[in-house]
Structure 1
Amino acid sequence: MNLTHRSLGAAKALVALCCVAVCLGTAHANSQHKPQRAAAKPKAAKAAPARAAPPRVRDGEAEARLIEIYKLIGQAHTRAALAKAEVLVRDHPNFSLAQLVYGDLLTAQQRPVRNFGDVPDSAVRTGAQALAELREESQQRMRALRERPPAGAIPAQFLQLSPQNKHAIAIDASRSRLYLYQNDAAGPKLIADYYISVGKLGIEKAAEGDLRTPLGVYFVTSNLDPKSLKDFYGAGALPINYPNPYDARRGKTGRGIWLHGTPPEQFARAPKATDGCVVLANPDLERIIRTVEVRTTPVVIAPTLRWVAPAAAQADARHFNDVLQAWRNAKASGDVNRLLAFYTPDFAINGKTLAEAQPLLKVELGRMRGKDVELKDVSVLRWTDSADTMVVTFGEVPMGARTGVTKRQYWVRLGPQWKIFFEGVVG
């Protein structure tokens, strides 16, 4: 849902000027404006028919309704905005930001608003942090919806997705946003995006317990049953493979980085509110859990996503595929020295050093007896920070064989050359 710049500006201005009638969850307005409970009926009265179960909450639905309220505010339709806000907080009583906007709209019916959080000084002092977090959440949601990805663009990290990557996830920490892509014969297509929270101390995780969210290219490793988890994790959890081999090469530590939901009493969190995980509202996480595949779904977590045209990504992929094919040819040659030229001195293969791996490589090359190697379902994901790296996954099938193994390699650019610093079997 895209808003015009004029509507967005007006909406942001009103949110910035609104007064908080509901002081950070005390729900003053909500408690006074709830529908009155019907009086008890006489025992002889006919019982009312059972109510139908509430409809399933759709992913992204609450945010879309909140933005529609902002849009109405920007158009000066405050009464219509108030009516929609009342329904929204009734449907999502734990959506604190919606409660805030509802309270502001109620107060605006009585007197002009002066500033954001125009409440008694004592209330401001006790709730200043929560108020600031709600304001930041509002700004992040609006920013992400104002700064939409260009039509048809993809994250620059997605050089090449294979048919095995039916879905891919990209996270932009600067916008508190997760983008869900579907990949088919036509290429990656954005199908949904959601507000998310990251670590309390931000991003670039380096050590256990540093309250930061890692940056890099990861993969969903499992889907944890919510029945096995504490309520803290909400609708479930999708662990990712932090620390990956690139993290390990740089000495990064920690574990247990998940995409997970919120406790039942909470709808969303502040943009920086986790111990390092990526957290979504439960309806949004449920959609992702129902959609993505374990082991084959890449998860890119970036400070800021750079969007490129698919053709630009394909050009970079073709250039790197020339390097990958040269490695394949070296392996098919049976010449171990020619093959070793593609590896860094600190190379590791399934936990073994280069010196330890050499006998294994010789055995493998001897078994292939110079047969050509076919690389199937190649995916290439690029990550660039202090170094330029590639995460490459493919099926390796000796010519004439029906099946092979799925391997993942991590490449790093050393001057003009690409070298492999890690290789392992993933399936």
Structure 2
Amino acid sequence: MMFISSGAAASHDEAANSEQIPDMLIPLDSGNGAEYAIVVEKETQQLFLYANDGTVKEVLRMNCSTGKVTGAKAVAGDLKTPEGIYFFIKEHKDKDLGPIYGTRAFPTDYPNLLDHIAGRTGSEIWLHGTNKPLKVRDSSGCVTLENSDIDTIAKYITLNRTPIIIVKKLSYGPFDVKLEAKTSVLNIFSEWKDALENGTYHDYLKFYDPEYLPDISWWSEWNKIRKTIHTAPEPFSVELENILIIKYNGTYVVLADQVINFSGREIQAGIRKFYLTEDHFRIIGEEYQGMSQARRDKQDNPFMMACRNLGTKEDKHEIANMLDDWLKAWSSKDIQEYGNHYASDFQSQGMNLKAWLRHKGRLNKKYKYIRVSKEKLVVKKSKQRRVVSFVQKYESNAFKAVGIKQLILKREDGQWKIYRETWKKI
């Protein structure tokens, strides 16, 4: 589903021409049903809801109130409503709100990256209800609706997905122009994706404006992971799915779900938001939508976090099978098969592997039967090793015990082997 918006002025009467559609909308059938965009026209104090399911249609139109002072927001406290493309990041119900916000409120992500670059300040620009009669240009910068209207439109809002596009005045344009823009943007990101998967650092940076230097500190680690992945027989790709394109004031905003496909699995790797110039389609900014400020301050990278977990998730299936075989050998008192699951340099409780197996052999002779099982398996990556923990249930003819088993595994002869082993009763 894709939307495109522009802030250029034109009259609503142009919409009567079947060749003219609102600049913010591109008809596209996503296959997932209709998606929605909210558009606020400050000049007429109107809010529009558009649906896009292969055809574009206006679903709702309602009165709204914007900032008491006309013009685009520039600084905190100027009583102006910002103009641009924003996304809803939270929803507050009436029980959590002061009376002036009415029955519910949707905070937006103002100021976004472009606002920060432009030096615009302020915060807490919301779409919300009210506890008084609605008047034009009566807010402190938020977009205000009647309570019945905010309750109605809430059904169409998906957090970190549904855009609210705030313009001075709507404009309209030919459908074919929108399709050309869509094709250009999609082609750019197809090439961007290829550079990410297979290209060099310099190939990747070609898609970025020379005046904008993206955070590329992760590339060295990604390059190592990529080389390892490319040697695996399983198919691998990085995809941008559910792409949303919006245009305002000469800049495109592209929102997409970043997904890693590996070994038949889809791994979510964050919601990417890109800002592109209209003239050369170069990226002038990027961020992860819905990411908390605390995570931004830590410079968390959802893409790299997902990549680091690729091996761990793949390993977990292999490790679970290995543990099942190990527990089966333990329960059946097959000391040779049991010992095959240990690393040659294993140590535990002051015993090396040879002493450990002698100890287990004596216990096998002592008990008539042994039953050992695992629950709640957790696998964590620690450099080249894996730290495994689970609830171990042990039963013999002499006693029963439940505890937390922790194993440190290492690769030996191409297989995961037990390097260290501890147990704590619970």
TM-score range, shorter chain: 0.5 to 0.7
Shift in alpha-carbon separation, 1:401–1:340, aligned structure 2, 3 A: farther
One-letter amino acid of the structure 2 residue matched with residue 193 of structure 1 = R
Contact 1:218 / 1:241 at 8 angstroms: preserved in 2?
A: yes
Whole-angstrom distance in 1 between the partners of 2:84 and 2:34: 17
| Residue number among 271, 275, 291 corresponding to 1:411 in the alignment | 275
Query: Hey, what does 1:337 align to over in structure 2?
Result: 202
CA contact (8 A) 1:376 1:397 kept: no
What is the alpha-carbon distance in structure 2 between the residues aligned to residue 391 and residue 247 of structure 1?
A: 16
> Which of 364, 377, 391 is equivalent to 2:254?
391
- Counterpart CA distance in 2 for 1:225 and 1:298 is 20
TM-score of the pair, normalised by structure 2: 0.57
For residue 407 of structure 1, report the CA deviation from its aligned partner: 2.7
Does 2:67 correspond to 1:195? Answer: no
Q: For 1:354-369, what aligned pairs fall within 5 Å after superposition? A: 354=215, 356-359=217-220, 361-362=222-223, 365-366=226-227, 368-369=229-230
> For residues 300 and 145 of structure 1, what CA distance do their matches in structure 2 show?
17
1:156 to 4, 17, 23: 23
Matches within 5 A, 1:110-259: 149-150=15-16, 154-159=21-26, 163=32, 166-184=35-53, 186-259=54-127
Indicate conservation of the 8 Å contact 2:101/2:129, yes or no: yes
Cα distance, 1:235–1:426 mapped onto 2, change above 3 Å: closer
Asked which structure has the greater RCO (Cα within 8 Å, sep 6+), the reply is 1
The residue number in structure 1 matching 2:134 is 268
Q: Any stretches of 5+ residues in structure 1 without a counterpart? A: 1-143
Q: Report the residue type matching 1:422 in the other structure.
A: E
- The structure with the larger Rg is 2
- Give the superposition deviation at 1:257: 0.4
Q: CA deviation at 1:388?
A: 2.7
State the distance in 1 between where 2:48 and 2:201 align: 43
Distance 2:111 2:258 in 1: 23
> Matched residues in 1 for 2:100 and 2:188: separation?
46
Offset, 1:340? 1.9
The CA distance in 1 between the partners of 2:41 and 2:225, in whole Å, is: 41
What's the CA shift for 1:409? 2.7
- For structure 2, the residue ranges without an aligned partner over 5 or more in a row are 1-9, 292-426
How far did 1:164 drift?
A: 8.4
**What is the correspondence of 1:28-67 to structure 2 with a 5 Å cutoff?**
none
Conservation of the 8 A alpha-carbon contact between 1:345 and 1:354? no
Residue 313 (structure 1) aligned with residue 178 (structure 2) = yes
Whole-angstrom distance in 1 between the partners of 2:269 and 2:258: 6
Encode CA deviations 1:87-107: one digit per residue, 9 max, x unaligned. xxxxxxxxxxxxxxxxxxxxx
- Structure 2 distance, partners of 1:414, 1:294, is 26
2:146 corresponds to which letter in structure 1?
A
| CA deviation string 1:105-157 (max 9, x = no partner) | xxxxxxxxxxxxxxxxxxxxxxxxxxxxxxxxxxxxxxx99858437764313
Contact 2:185-2:281 within 8 A present in 1 as well: no
Aligned-residue offset at 1:361: 4.8
Cα separation, partners in 2 of 1:365 and 1:160, compared to 1, 3 Å: farther
Q: How does 1:54-133 map to 2 (within 5 A)?
A: none
Question: Separation in 2 of the partners of 1:309 and 1:394?
Answer: 28
Tell me the amino acid that sits aligned with residue 273 of structure 2: Q
Structure-1 separation of matches of 2:188 and 2:282: 7
Contact 2:241 2:256 (8 Å CA) reproduced: no
Paired with 2:24 and 2:209, the residues of 1 have a C-alpha distance of: 23
Task: Name the amino acid aligned to 1:320.
Answer: V
Identity of aligned residues (%): 26
Q: Residue in 1 aligned with 2:160? A: 295
1:290 deviates by 2.9
Other-structure match for 2:285: 421
Moved more, 232-241 or 391-400: 391-400
What corresponds to 1:99 in structure 2?
Answer: none
Aligned to 1:75: none
RMSD of aligned alpha carbons: 3.0
Alpha-carbon spacing, 1:158–1:308, altered in 2? closer, same or farther (3 Å): same
Amino acid at match of 1:230: G
Q: Report the Cα distance in structure 2 between the residues aligned to 1:362 and 1:398, rounded to whole angstroms.
A: 17
Q: How far, CA to CA, are the matches of 1:360 and 1:252 in structure 2?
A: 35
How many angstroms apart in 2 are the aligned matches of 1:249 and 1:347? 11
- Structure with the higher helix share, 1 or 2: 1
Distance 1:233 1:145, change over 3 A: farther
Q: Quick check: 1:262–1:268 contact (8 Å CA) kept in 2?
A: yes
| Cα distance change of structure 1 residues 293 and 425 upon mapping to structure 2, 3 Å threshold | closer
Distance in structure 1 (CA, Å) of the matches to 2:34 and 2:57:
12
Residue 169 of structure 2 is matched in structure 1 by: 304
Q: What amino acid does structure 1 have at the position aligned with 2:40?
A: I
d(CA) in 1 for partners of 2:14, 2:71 = 22
Task: Give me the whole-angstrom Cα distance separating, in 2, the residues matched to 1:267 and 1:172.
Answer: 20
